[in-house]
Amino acid sequence: MASDDKGVLSSFHPCPHLVPEKLCLMPTQHLNDRFIRSLETPENSRVEYYDDHLVQGNKLKKRGVKGLALRITSSGKRSFVYRYWYHGRSKRYTIGSYPEWSLSDARDKARELHELVSGGIDPIAEKQQRIEANPVTFRQAVKAYKEKHLPTLKESTQTDYKRRIEVILNGLNPDRHVRDMKRFEVLEFLEEQAPVQGQRIQAILSGIFKFALNRDWVDSNIATNINLAGKRIQRKKKWQNVEFDDSQIKRLWDAFSGQTEPVQSFFKMLLILGQRSGETRLMKWRNINLDKQIWTIPETDTKNSLIHFVPLSPMALEILDHLKPWTGNSEFVFESQVKRGEPIGHPQKTAQRIREKFDIKEFNPHSLRTTFATRVAGLGTPPQVLSKLLNHKKPGEGSTITAIYNKYNYEEEKRIALNKWDRELTHILTDERKVTIHKLG
């Protein structure tokens, strides 16, 4: 038993795969992420560090998993393997690469494999038989991933995932065995996507292949660690949110009016109510109470997972009344006219057309929220009310502790603020000027 320079107990034991007359020393170490990341790459060789499952002390107690080892090659690749004896022969089962496989997951897998060996089953042979008997197609892997993973996500995120998964199934061969798919195919598919789309699809693909890896349907996650830097270089600089002045607001409103429905009403609603673009896209008719003139955004649709109540000002009610003939029979207020039954997508192309045609280079949808917040604050709205109106998780003023106990939702104050902005916006759009009347005599 020896101690390394980090003060962690380590030991050496014979290589389990060699006959006694050819013993060699192999390091044993209680594995942890810090140790794995700090390992130096060996020169012209590979080393396996066995997970130490015993610790010296007043008494022995289990920590690691017997048979689990971390292998590091001269290329720097790190992977988990499970060593075991079967019918007098030493065997090695490759669990997967680090960090695709976390240490915790690798230990759980090693315990499963140990149970198989204890039951007289060879894990390698069992895995091969399972693969040959039930080869899984990419479509089947995606379907299983959707059924298991998507219900754990917010409803708005589920909608986004489903849309991108359709792109994936249309771009890759869904009926091919998932084990036969190659890394270069995924890379070529991702390079065909727009920069942001490619990165988000890659994240979903990585999740699908990790899901398949955990079920032994594939041997590695071919969608992870793909460098799309070349695509990112082409990306335009990130938009800065700005406040629009009166003349820009009028030009934008005219620009919105020139778009097809429901996109034009969507943009107008962003300026009228100041809510997040993603949450407004998901506005549902069932969440609108016209009698009480309020829109309830469920926690499943909000960014901070908090239910949010938005009073409806007169202009907002006019928009809804106008949209009734268009989408009144749909679930979504802003239903896509291309994909019925779904909300409109992110209107980047429409925003680009508006920037070019109306020469408002600073326009992006989030700036409508910035303009709303700045103008509403300028109308004398207290910070706490504005914060509630924007559904920020942190309070606009006062301590976080106060916010924990203050459950008042400021509905009446929010309605007053929205009605003030409604009148101000009407003045801007109609060119009405406030007249000050001086009493004579």
pLDDT tens digit sequence for 175-195:
888 888 888 888 888 888 888
pLDDT interval class at 56 (50, 70, 90): low
CA distance 413 to 416: 5
pLDDT interval class at 236 (50, 70, 90): very low
Tokens of 79: 């992977």
Tokens of 295: 């829109």
pLDDT tens digits, one per residue of 240-294: 678 899 999 999 999 999 999 999 999 999 999 999 988 999 999 999 999 999 9
Q: What percent of the chain has pLDDT over 90?
A: 36
Report whether pLDDT(128) > 80. no
Report whether pLDDT(9) > 60. no
pLDDT tens digits, one per residue of 159-170: 899 999 999 998
Domain range for 334 is 246-430
Looking at residue 101, its pLDDT comes to 81
Choosing from 80, 107, 131, the residue where a domain stops is: 131
Looking at residue 240, its pLDDT comes to 67
Within a domain: residue 439?
Answer: no
CA distance 355 to 359: 5
Note the helical H segments in 63-194.
103-118, 123-133, 138-149, 155-171, 183-191
Within a domain: residue 241?
Answer: no
Looking at residue 257, its pLDDT comes to 93
pLDDT interval class at 369 (50, 70, 90): very high
CA distance 332 to 404: 33
For residues 308-333, give the mean pLDDT: 93
Within a domain: residue 251?
Answer: yes
Does pTM surpass 0.75?
no
CA within 13 Å, CB half, 191: 10
pLDDT interval class at 420 (50, 70, 90): very high
- Note whether 185 and 116 are same-domain residues: no
Give the number of other CB atoms < 10 A from CB of residue 189: 18
Cα–Cα nearest to 203, from 184, 185, 228: 228
Longest dimension (CA), the chain: 119
Report whether pLDDT(126) > 90. no
For the chain, give the number of residues: 441
- Note whether 151 and 288 are same-domain residues: no
- Note whether 277 and 414 are same-domain residues: yes
Q: Say if CB 220 and CB 97 are below 8 A apart.
A: yes
Looking at residue 407, its pLDDT comes to 53
Looking at residue 4, its pLDDT comes to 44
Triad 328, 332, 336: Cα angle to 5°: 100
AA identity, residue 72: I
- Note whether 76 and 118 are same-domain residues: yes
AA identity, residue 206: S
- Note whether 262 and 363 are same-domain residues: yes
Q: Residue 217 sits in a domain of what CATH number?
A: 1.10.150.130
Q: CA 367 from chain center: how many Å?
A: 23
Looking at residue 235, its pLDDT comes to 43
Looking at residue 14, its pLDDT comes to 45
CA distance 88 to 68: 19
